Amino acid sequence: MEGMILLILISAYFIFIPIFLILNVIRLHQRIDEIEKFLGRKTVINQQEPEIEIKPEIKDVSLKSKTINWEIEFGRKYFYWTGIFIFLFGIALFLKYAFVNKWFNETTKIVLGILSGFVLIGLGSRFISRYRQFALGLIGAGIVSLYLSIFVACNLYRLITYLPAFFAMILITGFGVFLTIKYDSIFLSILAFLGGFGAPIILTGFRASLFQAFTGLSLYLLLLNIGNLAINYFKPWRILLILSTHLTYGIFWMWIARFYHPSVFALVLVGIALFFFLYLYFLISRFNKPYRIKEVDYYLIIFNSAVFAGFVFYLVHGSFPLYKWLTCIVLAFIHTIAAMSLQRKENYDEGIVFLLLGASLIFLTLCFPFYFNGTNITISWVCEGLLIFWLGLKIPSTFLRIFGYFIFLLSVGRYSAIDAFFIRVYSSGFIKMIHFFNERFLTGFAVSVSILLSGLLALRRKEILKTEEKFLPSVLIILSNFTLFLALSIEVYKWMDDVLTSDAANVALSIFWAFYGLILLAVGLLKKIKLIRYFAFSLIGLTVTKVLFFDLFRFGIHRIVVSVIVGAILLIVGFIYHRRKEM
């Protein structure tokens, strides 16, 4: 039943992707037609109107305007910040001296800290119009003073309980956001949100059920993130996005590591999914208007998807480990739908669309190891790669072809590292006579044939390939030959080792390598493909090295057979090259 569900979902997915990409191609063609019509009208207008030469206005920029006045620079900034630090340090020493000598009790200390914060904020607001940097420093110091006062009152002196302290921190954060918007300062916003995200970490002493604790934490973080994203929508301060995503997911991870229990699985999963969709929607929606995309935008999308997937896999593994494959398919559908919704916008970025589609294909690829085991994983991967690569040629889509290359490399890597050497084949009696028909060899054969078909399909449609992609079909054929060569080599050795001896197996391996190299060389000459001839040369060179430095010194009478046969094959190769003057 589960296998049928998996087959239906994957089939639906691969029906869904080409339809989406075909619609995308149609939309692009329509836009190209509209642009061509517009350019045609523009050309006619330009022919009717005389050209007016506009000379750019050249402004004389003196070198003096570019010179930095280090005296003013040090006086305004460096001395200023150093002065704030020393002043606050002196105040702290005074307060410490007063506390040690018990000039004030605990309540007085907290009141003094809160009053100092408001005084600093008031002074900063007073001077903001004339001395902006100086005033922002005072306001920032005041916000920090308020946060520290509440922290000390709750955690050290126990003057107030958790809930009043928590709501006080919310008010301070809201006040900081208000000042950020009022004075248009990223410095104040960072201070405010660092204090807001730090509140649930530094405040202790509150006891509640897991349901209440996670619900309260989620609602608090949701309010912080809504305020943060609202600011970032009008002010593209990406540092705030980085802070909110990293700190939110970090707080959730600390809570899960310390308090999580399977009884709140659904609540935790829904809560984290809420933030994932919030970030994803915001990152996509901001492309609805002209927006200059930077590398950090790609990073935020990758980080959001990767961390959310990690949370989901961790939670599902603890409660429903057999359904991790279904999680991968759901994540693949989510990212595909996100790519479609972004692609429908007028000012969308093609790189973001491909990034989301790439994430969906990666999640789809991950579902096979979670559902299958052994060689079934490799066969599933290479079949997926063949289908994706075929779609990339049919649509056509460079992105899908690149992902197909990636899947082929992944399949060959898994077969070479795991399937070829760690799959045990049990055979006896008649099965020994048909030794090659086993799970290990058939897996390698399937990988080789799938990659070979992709290479041949690419050669047939070579005109649609980009210039830098023209050589890759030949590389696919080489990769196919390498996989088949590895599979046959293992089976030849194992078969001869079972039937005769290990010495005979080594000799048979050398002879097989020589024959295989000769066949590849003939194919490379007939088809005039240099890469195949180079691979054949490498294989023949490997055979010669093995015969000269290994076989001739170990295998007794068997070395006569291997030297005669390999020597004869080398003579044939030399004769062929003497006959053919041009390659």
- Residue 69, phi then psi, degrees to nearest 5: -85, 100
Average pLDDT, the chain: 76
Look at residue 324 and tell me if it is in a domain: yes
* 520 and 484 fall within a common domain: no
The answer to whether 364 and 387 are in contact (CB under 8 A) is no
Mean pLDDT is lowest, of 145-154, 286-295, 350-359, 567-576, for 286-295
* 533 and 438 fall within a common domain: no
d(CA 180, CA 227): 11
* 248 and 126 fall within a common domain: yes
Residue appearing with tokens 């001896």? 501
- Better-scored residue on pLDDT, 439 or 552: 439
* 470 and 355 fall within a common domain: no
Most confident of 83-87, 175-179, 205-209, 353-357: 353-357
With a cut of 50, say whether residue 193 has pLDDT above it: yes
- 266 conformational bin, left if phi > 0, alpha if psi -120 to 50, beta if neither: alpha
* 473 and 504 fall within a common domain: no
**pTM exceeds 0.75 for this model:** no
DSSP code for 500: S
d(CA 316, CA 325): 10
pLDDT of residue 61: 44
- Better-scored residue on pLDDT, 35 or 543: 543
pLDDT of residue 104: 63
* 138 and 192 fall within a common domain: yes
In terms of Cα–Cα distance, which of 167, 161, 117 is closest to 139?
117
Look at residue 187 and tell me if it is in a domain: yes
Contacts of 473 (CB under 8 A, 6+ apart): 455, 456, 458, 459, 462, 465
In terms of Cα–Cα distance, which of 30, 25, 19, 29 is closest to 336?
19
* 252 and 265 fall within a common domain: yes
With a cut of 80, say whether residue 540 has pLDDT above it: yes
Instruction: For 422-433, give the DSSP string.
Output: H------GGGGG
- Better-scored residue on pLDDT, 209 or 423: 209
- Across 8-17, average pLDDT: 54
The answer to whether 357 and 399 are in contact (CB under 8 A) is yes
Q: How many CB atoms lie within 10 A of CB 338?
A: 24
With a cut of 70, say whether residue 254 has pLDDT above it: yes
* 364 and 443 fall within a common domain: no
Assign 175 to helix, strand or coil: helix
pLDDT of residue 43: 45
d(CA 424, CA 418): 11
- Across 303-330, average pLDDT: 90
Q: How confident is the model at residue 411 (pLDDT cuts 50, 70, 90)?
A: very high
d(CA 213, CA 259): 10
Report the percent of the chain where pLDDT is more than 90. 14
pLDDT of residue 406: 92
Assign 193 to helix, strand or coil: helix
Structural domain that includes position 548: 500-583
* 524 and 416 fall within a common domain: no
- 108 conformational bin, left if phi > 0, alpha if psi -120 to 50, beta if neither: alpha
Q: How confident is the model at residue 286 (pLDDT cuts 50, 70, 90)?
A: low
Q: How confident is the model at residue 494 (pLDDT cuts 50, 70, 90)?
A: confident
pLDDT of residue 525: 80
Look at residue 429 and tell me if it is in a domain: yes
Peptide bond into 473 cis (omega under 30): no
Look at residue 68 and tell me if it is in a domain: no
Q: How confident is the model at residue 45 (pLDDT cuts 50, 70, 90)?
A: very low
- Across 412-423, average pLDDT: 86
Q: What is the pLDDT of residues 96-136, one digit of tens each?
A: 666 566 666 777 777 877 887 788 788 878 877 777 766 77
- Residue that finishes a domain, picked among 443, 458, 492: 492
The dihedral through the CA atoms of 222, 223, 224, 228 has a sign that is positive
Q: How confident is the model at residue 65 (pLDDT cuts 50, 70, 90)?
A: very low
In terms of Cα–Cα distance, which of 391, 274, 371, 472 is closest to 22?
391
Report the percent of the chain where pLDDT is more than 70. 70
- Across 158-172, average pLDDT: 76
pLDDT of residue 37: 63
With a cut of 80, say whether residue 348 has pLDDT above it: no
- 374 conformational bin, left if phi > 0, alpha if psi -120 to 50, beta if neither: left
Tell me how many domains the chain contains: 3
Look at residue 242 and tell me if it is in a domain: yes
The answer to whether 499 and 550 are in contact (CB under 8 A) is no
Look at residue 17 and tell me if it is in a domain: no
pLDDT of residue 216: 77
Taking the chain, what is the end-to-end CA distance rounded to the nearest angstrom? 56
With a cut of 60, say whether residue 287 has pLDDT above it: no
Look at residue 12 and tell me if it is in a domain: no
Look at residue 240 and tell me if it is in a domain: yes
* Encoded amino acid at 498, one letter: D
Q: How confident is the model at residue 23 (pLDDT cuts 50, 70, 90)?
A: low
With a cut of 60, say whether residue 74 has pLDDT above it: no
* 504 and 479 fall within a common domain: no
d(CA 578, CA 572): 10
3-state secondary structure 131-183: CHHHHHHHHHHHHHHHHHHHHHHHHHCCCCCHHHHHHHHHHHHHHHHHHHHHH
- Residue that finishes a domain, picked among 474, 492, 510: 492
* 433 and 510 fall within a common domain: no
- Residue that finishes a domain, picked among 397, 414, 441: 397
d(CA 495, CA 476): 28
* 276 and 326 fall within a common domain: yes
